[in-house]
Chains A and B, each alone.
Chain A
Amino acid sequence: MTKQPFSERNFSFTMSRRRLLQTAAGLAGGAIIPAGTISRAFADDKPAIGTWPAGSSGSSVFVGVTVPRTGTYAVQGEDELKGYELAVEHINSGHELIKKISPKTTKGVLGKEVKIGVADSGAKPNEAVQAQSRFITENKAVLITGGTSSAVAVALNKLAQREKVLFVCGISGSNDTTGKDCVRYGFRQNFYGQTAAAAISPILIKTFGKNKKAAYLTPDYTYGHTVTKSMQDYLAPAGWTTVTNQVSPLGAPDYSSYLLNVANSGADILINVNWGHDAVLSIQQAKQFGVLDKMKLVVPYQVPFLAREVGGGLMSGVFAATDFWWTIQDKYPLAKMFVEAFEKKYGYKPEWGANNSYMEFAMWARMVEEAGTFYPPDVIKAYEKGATIPSTVGDVHFRSEDHQLVRPVIIVKGKDPKDMKGKEDYYDVVEIIPGEGLMQKPDAFGCHLGDYT
């Protein structure tokens, strides 16, 4: 045996110390996993897939949440997070609202407590994918969620399909999310470009007439382009033309040059597809440039907190398509329960982002209970049965072909500040339009779901 040089011996000593740490960590980790886990995994006739069965073998399951807490969509992301947290609290305690949506739920999901990990995506796809990859490998997440930017939603769709971990979508308005970028492992609860356009266009045509000239403000990514395209498609038959389409980057610091183009375009209607703080800033600056005095503003894809943030009654008389507005609680008992529970916990009326996240988790809990297992292909098949689900906007169901929820779109109109009854009474509900008639054919946007395994 040759004598080791000192430096190598030293090295091997540090290595062995590291190995000791690893062993200790392994022991500690092993202590958390209950006995029988490994044998059960082998005993089951199904091969392991994604984080199954490792992720659901303990007394709790982990869900990875990414929301934008910084950047242009921070306000909306923070609100969505509250919806997720409320849902988890309700699921774990077996709240009566969850039991209405998921009748088989007692406490937790299949008796397991739900734990969440939260990461800031900054509405950037790469950051969301990084965080969720970590949640999947380190925490064995059984479910991931995120969005607010459709670019994030599409990226997480792909991650979910690759890693074979279920993904329920946060806010995402792009047609692509359940269209050309749809996946077997992804599901979307909320409305999107197509359904928004199909719902709001007839009302715009009825209100403003035929043969109008429209100017668009479009954020430069999948959400903006698909929503603008859907609006143009639905307004064209009534003779509406696009006189200008101002495409701007996400988080543009100033809209003056775009708004000058709009002001000089001779448009009658300004259709603002911008979202988050971009919508706030572009509407405020449109007012500064006198654009709102010359043309009518329309928001085809509603932005949570928009009326409050733009201030000054700028949303008065403005039509918007949305997913949820709290005053529909007069019509839907589950909405009433949700609004009350949310307001009790957070002190304000929930916006549609929070409702979306709540419903996404609640419906996932229902599907796992229905499947009786966390085994992803079985949970997916439970979604694909398309059973009627009671929700905060009435009865809804998933389409098996593209994993899109068939649900109504709500058209609201901004109230004049003097007509508001209370400080959060920003909108009148104009119409609640059933989902069936608003949807495109399942394959119209090129959806191919991909494999179960």
Chain B
Amino acid sequence: MISWPNFVSQLFNGLALGALLALISSGLTIIYGTLGVLNLAHGAMFMLGGYAGYVAYTYTGSFVVAVVAASISVMVLGVLMERVIIRHFYHRPHEDQLLVTFGLSICFVEIARLIFGSLSLTVPPPLLFAGITSLGFLFYPTYRLAAVGIIAVALLALFLVLYRTRLGMIVRAGIEDAVMVDSLGINVYRVFMVVFGIGAMAAGFAGIINAPIVSLTPDMGEAILVQTFVVVVIGGVGSFPGAVLGGLIAGEIISLTSMVNPGYAYVMLFAVMTLVLVVRPHGLLGTRGRE
């Protein structure tokens, strides 16, 4: 199956796949980097973004409304989750944090199953992006092309917030040393809440952007969560650029390996992750001491 057109197709597909992984992973990595909480409910929030968008789309028929509704509702959920539950776990052992977020993820999935059932649901792509586009070397679904652009804009926005605003500066400082930020008189806990909200919003946004590509099922977050962890580990824990780089690398590994032998696509992903852990235990762009 190795031919020039197929190679270029897969290279491109890896980019598209990687962009989505980058977006989901960035939310996870910012939360972990700042709060020190590994949010195992991140995949479930990705799923909830899809379902929230589905509901909004069903009522309004507008994809834009669906995107806004999904992002905001998952952000609100994230803030609530942080205020009501997560903040009580900042000073508790990591195992407790894992257990509580894992428990929440089970609750979210089962609530979604209770309301929407197990039968998969679909959100059609906006009419503007329906159909297939010829890129000369391959035919590619128009919506996937658009999604790459949308995600690129979203990642840029996230970058600007993190690297060009006062809030972003505090967040990045918090990732490096939360105690120091606190002693400088900044209300770290409020920053934590905002960060959790932004991270959740990234998951919800990714969920609805991804919805027209896949069909929604309550379990969809599970498989994505595993890949997201791989991305974060490869890119470097707590590093936003690392999440983007890791996402693109993971996308390319899956696509290019599947060209040679599809059965090994995911095996290769984990093999590369292991290799990164051996050679650079903090990930490609991570720094010592963050985890």
Contacts and interface: CB of A to CB of B under 8 A. Distances in A.
B139 A280 contact: no
Majority DSSP secondary structure for residues of B touching A: helix
- Identify the interface centre among A70, A247, A254, A280: most chain B CB within 10 Å of its CB: A254
Given A249-B266, A289-B132, A290-B139, A261 B119 contact: no
Interface in A50-91: 69-72, 74-75, 78
Chain A interface category by residue count: 35 or more
Contact of A246 (B109, B224, B258): B258
A244 interface: yes
Interface stretch (A5-13, A159-167, A192-200, A305-313): A305-313
A60 B103 CA distance: 36
Contacts, number: 110
Interface string B217-249: 111101110010000000000000000000000
Interface in B244-291: 254-255, 258-259, 262-263, 265-266
Interface stretch (B1-9, B31-39, B50-58, B185-193): B1-9
A265 B227 CA distance: 28
Contacts of A285: 213-214
B132 A251 contact: no
B62 interface: no
Interface stretch (B10-18, B69-77, B86-94, B194-202): B10-18
Interface in A237-281: 244, 246-249, 251-254, 256-258, 260-261, 263-265, 277, 280-281
A288 B213 contact: yes
B139 A256 contact: no
Interface residues of B, number: 42
Given A78-B118, A249-B266, A309-B120, A70 B219 contact: yes
A244 B217 contact: no
Contacts of A443: none
A436 interface: no
Interface string A201-244: 00000000000000000001000000000000000000000001
Interface in B92-137: 109, 113, 118-120, 122, 132
A284 interface: yes
B213 A75 contact: no
Nearest to A251: B223
B139 A308 contact: no
A289 B213 contact: no
Contacts of A265: 1
B258 A258 contact: yes
Contacts of A249: 266
A258 B119 contact: no
A257 B6 contact: no
Contacts of A258: 258, 262
B262 A247 contact: yes
B149 interface: no
A75 B116 CA distance: 12
B141 interface: yes
Nearest to B212: A288
A277 B215 CA distance: 9
A355 B129 CA distance: 42
A281 B122 CA distance: 10
Contacts of B219: 70-72, 74, 251, 277
B100 to A, nearest CB: 20
Contacts of B119: 75, 305, 308-309
B205 interface: no
B138 interface: yes
Given A71-B219, A260-B6, A261-B259, A253 B120 contact: no
A172 B107 CA distance: 30
Contacts of B265: 248, 257
Contact of B214 (A74, A254, A289, A309): A254
A281 B6 contact: no
A253 B227 contact: yes
Interface in A277-304: 277, 280-281, 284-285, 288-290
A428 to B, nearest CB: 23
A290 B139 CA distance: 8
B258 A289 contact: no
Contacts of A281: 120, 214-215
Contact of A289 (B109, B139, B263): B139
7 closest cross-chain pairs (CB), A and B: A247-B263, A257-B258, A288-B141, A253-B223, A74-B118, A264-B6, A257-B255
8 contacts: A71-B222, A248-B265, A257-B14, A257-B262, A258-B262, A260-B255, A289-B139, A289-B141
Interface of B: 1, 3, 5-6, 9-10, 13-14, 16-17, 109, 113, 118-120, 122, 132, 138-141, 143-144, 213-215, 217-220, 222-224, 227, 254-255, 258-259, 262-263, 265-266
